[in-house]
Amino acid sequence: MITLMVQTERILQNYHLLQRQVGNTPMIPVLEANAYGLGDVAVAQLLADEGVKTMAVSRLEEAVRVADAVRGVDLLLLTPYSRQEDIETILESDLVAAVGSNESAVLLSSLSRKLHRRARIQLCFDFGMGRFGFAPQDAAKAAQTVRHLGNLELTGVFTALPAGSDGKASRRQQQVKDFGRVLAAVRREGLTPDFAHMADVNQLALCPEMRLSAVRVGAELFGRGEAPKAVTKQRGGLKKVGRAVSEVCDIKWLPAGATVGQDGRCRVKRATRVAVVPAGLADGLFPQETQGRRGLFAHKLTCEINGQRLPVLGCAGLTALTVDVTDADCAPGDIVSFEVDPVGISAFARREYV
């Protein structure tokens, strides 16, 4: 069993570092995938206490969970939904809904009247992801739909750009022009959205013309992903957030020639003192093991005990692993820590905010 230690001060340091990078443009933290594994409710509350007023998530269940726990925040649901049950939940939770189709707009309008709720929306446009959103050339029709239906409060217009958009400058410039045409078409229909956002902090660094009324920030907030070069060059740079810890549950000696590890293929060449740790693949450790990516030149599995980096022997098991502590000061109960990507850590693992 592991505990994921979440360093809250690092999140705030990263947030302010990135905010300085984008200047006066408001940042919208995207807390998708359970805030990249760190715990969306706790991270949302941390940011709300810091004065952040608008955040975004990808899935409805995430949005409901955060909305129920954190007050005073506008929560944008980036994924458009078109089922009646989902629309009802969106309205009851007072979420800002992404609208990427006429069907979604019609349902939101009719159900908001029925439930006597306001329907706050942002129009979503597909700029190459192929997942959801109106086609850019249909911007005027989308705006007309919103205007004619009524009972829809348009708070924003946005798109998400595919990773390939980080390539040629000419392509980025074309995307800026195309999104500008989308905004112009929406405004010609008499709609005045508060927010327009098309880029994350990395895309903004590559193309300053993407600086609209807001910019999104995702994994970079937690020291993950590709941070803008201007940020990485600053003293300290972004700090990685999240470290998994467990404890040594037992220590034993293995004779020379004994096998160790889940597959039994590792054989120790000398008498070896080992520590048994009740943590493994089921907790989200060492994803390269489960994905079959440990090749001949792969990095060896390691952990840290009492400040010393030590090798994991053999293959880690689902719920336990073995560490070579022959030359280390180690006893049962000592803390064992692992470098991890929190997004892969089990949702059942305890999160501790420090």
| Residues 169-177: contacts with CB under 8 Å, at least 24 apart | 169/206, 169/207, 172/203, 172/206, 172/207, 172/209, 172/210, 173/207, 173/209, 175/127, 175/210, 176/207, 176/209, 176/210
Which of the four pLDDT bands, split at 50, 70 and 90, describes residue 237? confident
Give the residue from 112, 115, 122 showing the smallest Cα distance to 149: 112
Which one-letter DSSP state was computed for residue 70? Answer: -
| pLDDT value of position 296 | 41
End of a domain among 232, 260, 287? Answer: 232
Cβ neighbour number for residue 253 with a 10 Å cutoff: 10
User: Is 1 within the bounds of a domain?
Assistant: no
Let me know whether 103 and 225 are in one domain.
yes
Residue 2 lies in a domain: no
| C-alpha span between 20 and 35 (Å, rounded) | 22
Query: Is 250's pLDDT higher than 60?
Result: yes
pLDDT band at 262, cuts 50/70/90?
A: confident
> Using DSSP, how many helices (H) and how many strands (E) does the chain show?
11, 19
180 & 292 share domain: no
Instruction: Name the pTM for this structure.
Output: 0.91
Token pair, residue 112, equals 């908001």
Domain count, the chain: 2
Provide the pLDDT for residue 297: 38
pLDDT (average), residues 180-204? 95
Query: Is there a single domain that holds both residue 248 and residue 172?
Result: no
Residue 300's pLDDT is 84
Q: Residue 3: inside a domain, yes or no?
A: no
Task: Work out the percent of the chain whose per-residue pLDDT is above 90.
Answer: 83
Of 50, 58, 54, 57, residue with least CA distance to 27? 54
User: What amino acid occupies position 25?
Assistant: T
Residues 256 and 209 in one domain: no
Please identify, among 176, 198, 232, the residue that sits at the C-terminal boundary of a domain. Answer: 232
The CATH number for 94's domain is 3.20.20.10
Contact 1, 339 (CB under 8 A): no
Q: In the predicted model, is pLDDT for residue 89 greater than 60? A: yes
Distance CA 124, CA 182 (A): 10
User: Do residue 210 and residue 278 come from a single domain?
Assistant: no
Binning pLDDT at 50, 70 and 90, where does residue 50 land? very high
SS3 348: coil
Q: 261 with 313, same domain? A: yes
Average pLDDT over residues 39-58: 98
40: exposed, middle or buried (Cβ count in 10 Å: 0-12, 13-18, 19+): buried
> Per-residue pLDDT for 218 more than 70?
yes
156 DSSP β-pair partners: 122, 195
Where is the domain boundary, 172, 207, 232? Answer: 232
Q: Please name every residue paired with 243 in a beta bridge, in sequence order, or none if there are none.
A: 5, 339
Q: What is the CATH number of the domain that holds 287?
A: 2.40.37.10
- 167 located within any domain: yes
User: Is position 132 within any domain?
Assistant: yes
Query: Please, are residues 97 and 111 in contact by the beta-carbon 8 Å criterion?
Result: no
Q: How confident is the model at residue 171 (pLDDT cuts 50, 70, 90)?
A: confident
Contact between 328 and 296 under an 8 Å Cβ cutoff? The reply is: no
**Same-domain status, 186 and 284:** no
Lowest average pLDDT, out of 76-85, 167-176, 204-213, 326-335, goes to 167-176
Residue 207 lies in a domain: yes
Looking at the domain assignment, is residue 238 inside a domain?
no
Coil vs helix vs strand at 325: coil
Q: Is residue 101 part of a domain?
A: yes
Q: Do residues 183 and 51 share a domain? A: yes
Q: Give yes or no: residues 207 and 294 share one domain.
A: no
Q: Do residue 24 and residue 62 come from a single domain?
A: yes
Distance between CA atoms of residues 124 and 78, nearest Å: 8
- Residue by residue, DSSP assigns 221-288 as GGT-S---HHHHTSSS------EEEEE--EEEEE-TT-EESTTS-EE-SS-EEEEEES--GGGT--HH
Pairwise pLDDT comparison (42 vs 171), residue with the higher score: 42
Domain membership of residue 228 as a residue range:
8-232
pLDDT band at 205 (very low <50, low <70, confident <90, very high): confident
**Does the pLDDT at position 103 exceed 90?**
yes
Look at residue 97 and tell me whether its pLDDT is greater than 90. Answer: yes
Can you tell me the distance from the alpha carbon of 57 to that of 79, in angstroms, rounded to the nearest whole number? 8
Task: Give, rounded to a whole angstrom, the gap between the first and last alpha carbons of the chain.
Answer: 19
Mean pLDDT of 296-324: 88
Same domain, yes or no, for 75 and 169?
yes
Average pLDDT of the residues in 258-277: 94
Shared-domain flag, residues 222 and 337: no
Q: What is the pLDDT of residue 295?
A: 47
